[in-house]
Amino acid sequence: MTPCALRRWPALILTAGLLGLTAPWAAVGPASAGTPTGGSTPTGTTGTTGTSGTSTGTSPSTGVQPPVDYELPFACGQQWTGDTRAGHSPSPLALDFTRPRDYGRLVLAAAAGTVVWVADLGSTSYGRYVIIDHGDGYSTLYAHLKSVWVVQGEQIDQGSILGQVGDTGNATGPHLHFEERFDGVDQPAWFHGAAYTPGVALASRNCPDTPVSADRNSDGTDTVGVFRSKARGGAFRFAVTDGTPEVVGFGGGRDVPVTGDWDGDGTTDVGVRRPATRQFLLRGSDGTTTTITLGRRADRPVTGDWDGDGRTDVGVYAPRTGTFRLRDGAGNVTAVQLGGVGDIPVTGDWNADGVTDVGVFDPATATFLLRVGYADGSVSLTTVPFGTSTDLPVTGDWDGDGTTDVGAWDPATATFSLRLTPPTSRSTSAVTTVQFGRPR
């Protein structure tokens, strides 16, 4: 593995709420689509802008890079052009993105955050649109969508699919109406750390790493890795002991990565779920790919050995209802209720009985809720505070004792914090940190 450091963390940590709803609800409602009134007039690069009439915080200075690492809201490598005009509602700082054959293209989150608004204004104004709160008053708005694939309250990562480019609302043709906002007021757009000049064609660098874990050498211990979105296809990169990552190209850039031992040979294999077609594509050790269709587009994929036969099965988690649907090797689907909107599903064998259990990570409280189901039908729940609100959860058996452990990956530093099952003490747990992947 790459550089490791062992340190001790108290088991009870962190109730921070970086992703909390800091913006007033009034600032994100349909009313904000109207004509701004009163207040100060920032001097944007495109002329007179909207105002800060509803602002409760300090408005950022024009020309200063926002603290949120916005990327273009489109698939990695895709080229789009954002235009605006005088009189563009609600502000000339809003951008209308187009490209050839743009209708139905995927719209991605420009940055991680909370879906705070999903609405459909019919044939008026924004039509179908979504607002994501990035914390500290910063938000982004995506309008005229053909379809919306997220639900209000959901926590989403940078690059998550929000929906499709459409022409709903007051639109004369397909395009994505996009706004970067502070306290509900449009700001000059920045992408990949640079101020954007309207009219310039830009290739999306919304190509985030996503944390995964796998046992690639059948030694019973999981190692960490990332799935990297690329302009053409995707690639798994696993940390291995000699320091050179093992790279396995598989799937597409907008696929959601999954890992599991599909063929039961003891080595973790790679796979993806393709939201647009609702298909799992699972690659076995022999290179063949098995396809399983399950769930809805908006569902999140999970994997685990639900029937305990040694082969990893697939499942989905519906954020809207907090329902896991777990498909066993025979194709039977079992529903399990846990958590709800805002939670991120995780899976693992928390009690080392050979059957994978489910859990959720609540970013608001940085707490894992782990559910163990027993053969007699009884259930136990355990809460494990770990990580931070901006971390992405990851699970694996880091110490090879048969019990799946929890972990977290910090996108800003590309650092895994892996919680090792405390061997003696209940008050502390050993934590290994591993820097792996590309920081955002």
Residue from the set 130, 399, 436, 437 that interacts with Ca ion by CB under 5 A: 399
Q: Which of 179, 183, 215, 261 binds Ca ion (CB under 5 A)?
A: 261
Among 96, 313, 343, 410, binds Ca ion (CB under 5 A): 313
Asked if 110 and 117 touch (Cβ cutoff 8 Å), the reply is no
Among 96, 102, 209, 397, binds Ca ion (CB under 5 A): 397
From residue 290 to residue 309, what is the string marking binding to Ca ion with x (rule CB under 5 A)? ---------------x-x-x
**Nearest distance, CB of residue 122 and Ca ion, angstroms:** 46
Amino acid, res. 172: T
Nearest of 10, 438, 13 to residue 229 by alpha carbon: 438
Residue 265 contacts Ca ion per CB under 5 A? yes
Residue found under tokens 């190209």? 249
Q: How far is CA 287 from CA 144, 216, 330, 412, in A?
A: 41, 15, 22, 34
* CB nearer to Ca ion: pick between 362 and 399: 399
Residue 222 sits in the site that holds Ca ion (CB under 5 A): no
Burial 203-226 (b: 16+ CB within 10 A, else e): ebebbbbbbbbbbbeeeeebbbbb
- Supply the minimum distance, in Å, between the C-beta of residue 271 and Ca ion: 11
420-439 binders of Ca ion (CB under 5 A)? 421
What would the two tokens of residue 16 be?
A: 């921070």
In the numeric block, the tokens 């799937």 are attached to 251
215: contact with Ca ion by CB under 5 A: no
Minimal distance, residue 263 CB to Ca ion, in Å: 4
* Minimum CB distance to Ca ion smaller for 147 or for 421: 421
Question: With respect to Ca ion, which residue has the nearer C-beta, 209 or 307?
Answer: 307
**Token reading at 4:** 């490791």
Stretch that binds Ca ion, among 4-12, 96-104, 200-208, 391-399 (CB under 5 A): 391-399
Q: Which is nearer to Ca ion, 133 or 349 (CB)?
A: 349
Residue 186 engages Ca ion in binding (rule: CB under 5 A) = no
Stretch that binds Ca ion, among 59-67, 109-117, 225-233, 285-293 (CB under 5 A): 285-293
Select from 1, 341, 355, 414 the one that contacts Ca ion (CB under 5 A).
355
Number of residues that bind Ca ion (CB under 5 A): 23
Which residues have C-beta within 8 Å of that of residue 169, sequence separation ≥ 6?
A: 121, 122, 123, 124, 125, 126, 127, 128, 129, 143, 144
Binding Ca ion (rule: CB under 5 A), the pick from 351, 365, 415, 433 is: 351
What's the rounded Cα separation, in Å, for the pair 51 and 79?
31
Binding piece for Ca ion, criterion CB under 5 A, among 7-15, 243-251, 357-365, 409-417: 357-365
Rounded least distance, CB 289 to Ca ion, Å: 13
- Would you count residue 179 as binding Ca ion (CB under 5 A)? no
253: left (phi over 0), alpha (psi -120 to 50) or beta: alpha
Q: Give the separation between CA 285 and CA 278, rounded to whole angstroms.
A: 23
Q: Point out which span in 26-34, 107-115, 147-155, 346-354 binds Ca ion (CB under 5 A).
A: 346-354
Using only the alpha carbons of the chain, give its radius of gyration.
Answer: 22
Q: Which residues of 352-390 are buried (b: 16+ CB within 10 A; e: fewer)?
A: eeebbbbbbbbbbbbbbbbbbbeeeeeeeeeebbbbbbb
For 308-367, the DSSP string reads -SSS-EEEEEETTTTEEEEE-TTS-EEEEE---TT-EEEEE-TT-SSS-EEEEEETTTTE
Q: Does 401 bind Ca ion (CB under 5 A)?
A: yes
**Per CB under 5 A, 263 contacts Ca ion:** yes
Which residues of the shown chain bind Ca ion in the complex (CB under 5 A)? 261, 263, 265, 267, 269, 285, 305, 307, 309, 311, 313, 329, 349, 351, 353, 355, 357, 397, 399, 401, 403, 405, 421
